[in-house]
Structure 1
């Protein structure tokens, strides 16, 4: 058996070029990306503008040369053996051999030569010609046009100098040469040099513009992202110190200002939530301390009596156990109220909304209230009304209203319960609530100074307000409308006289 050869190690995956660029871009800071985008946008704009400018200038300059050639008037000159030859180069040598000096400064603004077509093509130059125009095979295609028509093309002189050439054909009366091509050329070297200089100039301007755009983009990014830096500092400060409620200044009405405003609102809401949570814990601890202390005292008394061998009298022991049971019930109710009120500060549980017969719910609540106030008179008048709500939460709210009326009603007093067109009213004939205390009646753990000696935790009306709001209604508490003694509680709930 041959030894097993381990497979070669796998090469790391090759990142595509686009992926590398994207990874690099995303790894940069927001300020760097904004600067890069600004410089790139300006660079593209400058490059497109420079290209458009160069092409426009090129078209205009060559258009001037072309227009100049189109307006040239030429005359057909008869061939001369002294100035003619079979090629432009030879014809130029013949002209130069005459001893006549060409015009100073190189090629004339327009150079002319004649090409006679016959058994032997003949190229003729005018006297003192400084340049000869290169003849191309395609020039003979002009013969397919009408006499006097011309074609303008890009060409060059025999020495390689670029030029623009106009080719026109005329009938010839020279024996043996029935047709003649008249070629007129204008050198374009100066145009090309000017275009090259313009390209160099536009490139320098574009490069300078890109550099300035990068610097300006950096400054703009720094100025535009200054609120974001402040927001980041505030968030880091909150994360480091847990001091919610920190805000940042808001300037303007742009997106950054909206973000800053939203952050300030969120920070303020968090601060208020923490304050409510702290207050709830403090108030709950204060309210729980009383029943727990009483329970501990009663339990200690029972344990001490058993340890010392001196049992309590049966009546005293029964009274202590009754007190302990009442305190346990009060503690149970208080804990239930706390759980009910903790829902706004925590994720709300999934609850089932159903059609609730409010009139039946109110009648059941009145029956329970009669057990708690046996000496009171209840006057009830309810009309059918159906609402969409959580039946258990809404029933507890109505019971709390009736319990509040029972607690503050004098012995033998009357409690009036009315339900008409979705408006539920509960009126007692107790001492009422002072006007300056009405704004606080629905606060958690708030209790009137005049009723601190009565049982209760100050959470009942808070639960009423929360349950009614969740059902889409509103609740208010105030003095009786007829000016008499007592308090009137009003609950308005949307619904209808028939199930919907």
Structure 2
């Protein structure tokens, strides 16, 4: 069995589908043929039984009297075979002058005979040409009521098949006999044999046709799979993601094709984003690296020529180099945050995070970066599921932007109410036509490019909030100047158990 299963699995999908189709059709044809054969058999035997039911329960005939007969000396024998021999040699009347049941010429469709109540003697009517083989179970008919009978399978003397009706016969003297009435079933058997051959032929041709049809159906059904395979192999050879295949209909193959197209498009978009990220990162790294190289070259040339720089100039260069190194460190950290493959996703390893505590810590850090600013804090308890470090980084980025663009002595308003975190500054605000770009990587407003930053802070905020199942927006406050950042995260005010 294991070898057969292994052989089947080693076949191609098209061959397996064709074989399964042929097997299913073969089983259906076999079951239909069996049902047909049994139905026809039962119907034919029912017709034979109905024929037997019309046979008379009195085989003597009108005006006959068993007392006047030489019973059981004429046409009788100790067995059905001997009784048949006797009646063939005896031309005298036994049950009347007319051809009785089973008499000469086979005028009736049945044959009858009598058997004594002890089963020792069988008697046949005059002219009988067939005798029925009796069984020991026939003696049960002695307890039957008039016109009561049972039916059984039996044979004639010589082995021909028949259906036998067993009933009770009482003669004029009150003596009881067993009446056997039989009808040949040879025609039924011949018809069933012919039907078997016909059904077998139909089954063979049906299975062959099913195999051919299954092969054609498999070839047609798997064409989309072949196209999908070709595209996958092409992508594997050339690494050209983004190729798609046409989709027709809404069946499983169409769904598979649509899923592949979505995956291919997603891979292409991911590669495009990676390419843009590398290009943007290279562009952003080039500026501080160029400035660092210029300052280092200036210091080296001053040292090589023996003409030291003025102390104030040297101090300024070192300060600029430190600031550029900090900018590089910040930029590299932002890039690592954006490119982490293990960023938490909703529903994966959820951790209960107290968002109000994160907001408090972030505000304390922001106070150090904006010592001249006033922070208006209104934070209420709110617990969410997410990455604590990532959420804290996102809140700090929002506060850094508020600190960066707040005027000296300005106020930064921070509120957390029912999962809605808002950070508002009173700075110059963001032009309406630039709001659509604020969450793009490396995007910086033309009016703020002279300020420090890499343009990745808000991208990190958007990614972290989306990973936590929330949403973030940035816009103008309902009234007054400045910028209002809003973060909504699903959670609850009480700590979950």
Deviations 1:422-456 (A, max 9, x none): 442322332x3222211001111011233333332
1:452 corresponds in structure 2 to: 449
The SS at the match of 2:379 is: coil
8 A contact 1:334–1:457 mirrored in 2? yes
- 2:237 maps to which of 235, 240, 243: 240
Q: Does structure 1 residue 224 correspond to structure 2 residue 215?
A: no
Q: 1:87 to 1:419 in 2, by over 3 A?
A: closer
Deviation at 1:359, TM superposition (A): 5.3
Q: Does structure 1 residue 71 correspond to structure 2 residue 71?
A: no
Deviations 1:119-140 (A, max 9, x none): 973533313x332333444444
8 A contact 1:79–1:124 mirrored in 2? no
1:387 corresponds in structure 2 to: 382
Deviations 1:362-407 (A, max 9, x none): 5314412324xx5xxx343212323346554444434433433444
Deviation at 1:492, TM superposition (A): 4.3
Q: 1:499 to 1:142 in 2, by over 3 A?
A: closer
The SS at the match of 1:357 is: helix
Structural mapping, 1:82-481, within 5 Å: 83-97=75-89, 109-116=109-116, 121=121, 123-127=123-127, 129-146=128-145, 149-172=148-171, 178-343=175-340, 346-348=341-343, 353-355=352-354, 356-357=356-357, 360-361=360-361, 363-371=363-371, 378-388=373-383, 390=387, 392-409=389-406, 412=408, 414-419=410-415, 421=417, 422-430=420-428, 432-481=429-478
Structural mapping, 1:480-491, within 5 Å: 480-482=477-479, 484=481, 486-491=482-487
Q: 1:447 to 1:143 in 2, by over 3 A?
A: same
- In 1: Cα distance, 2:286 partner to 2:42 partner: 95
The SS at the match of 2:308 is: coil
- In 2: Cα distance, 1:473 partner to 1:97 partner: 111
Q: 1:236 to 1:181 in 2, by over 3 A?
A: same
- In 2: Cα distance, 1:43 partner to 1:116 partner: 54
- In 1: Cα distance, 2:104 partner to 2:284 partner: 116
Q: 1:333 to 1:341 in 2, by over 3 A?
A: same
8 A contact 2:362–2:399 mirrored in 1? no
Structure 1 residue runs of 5 or longer lacking an equivalent are 1-17
1:22 corresponds in structure 2 to: 5
Q: 1:299 to 1:191 in 2, by over 3 A?
A: same
Deviation at 1:283, TM superposition (A): 0.6
Q: 1:107 to 1:140 in 2, by over 3 A?
A: farther
Q: 1:191 to 1:29 in 2, by over 3 A?
A: same
Deviations 1:2-50 (A, max 9, x none): xxxxxxxxxxxxxxxx222222222222332222222222222222222
- In 1: Cα distance, 2:487 partner to 2:77 partner: 119
The SS at the match of 2:382 is: strand
Q: 1:457 to 1:155 in 2, by over 3 A?
A: same
Q: 1:121 to 1:340 in 2, by over 3 A?
A: closer
8 A contact 2:144–2:167 mirrored in 1? no
Q: 1:79 to 1:156 in 2, by over 3 A?
A: farther
8 A contact 2:422–2:484 mirrored in 1? no
Deviation at 1:104, TM superposition (A): 9.2
Equivalent pairs, count:
470
- In 2: Cα distance, 1:495 partner to 1:138 partner: 86
Deviation at 1:321, TM superposition (A): 1.9
Deviation at 1:109, TM superposition (A): 2.2
Between 289-298 and 144-153, the greater mean CA deviation after superposition: 144-153
- In 1: Cα distance, 2:442 partner to 2:120 partner: 123
Structure 2 residue runs of 5 or longer lacking an equivalent are 61-65, 93-98
- In 2: Cα distance, 1:351 partner to 1:148 partner: 86
8 A contact 1:473–1:494 mirrored in 2? yes
1:13 corresponds in structure 2 to: none
- In 1: Cα distance, 2:239 partner to 2:459 partner: 29
Normalization by structure 1: what TM-score?
0.82
2:21 corresponds in structure 1 to: 38
The SS at the match of 1:386 is: coil
The SS at the match of 1:383 is: strand
Deviation at 1:415, TM superposition (A): 4.0
- 2:32 maps to which of 27, 31, 49: 49
Q: 1:237 to 1:107 in 2, by over 3 A?
A: farther
8 A contact 2:152–2:163 mirrored in 1? yes
Normalization by structure 2: what TM-score?
0.82
Q: 1:107 to 1:192 in 2, by over 3 A?
A: farther
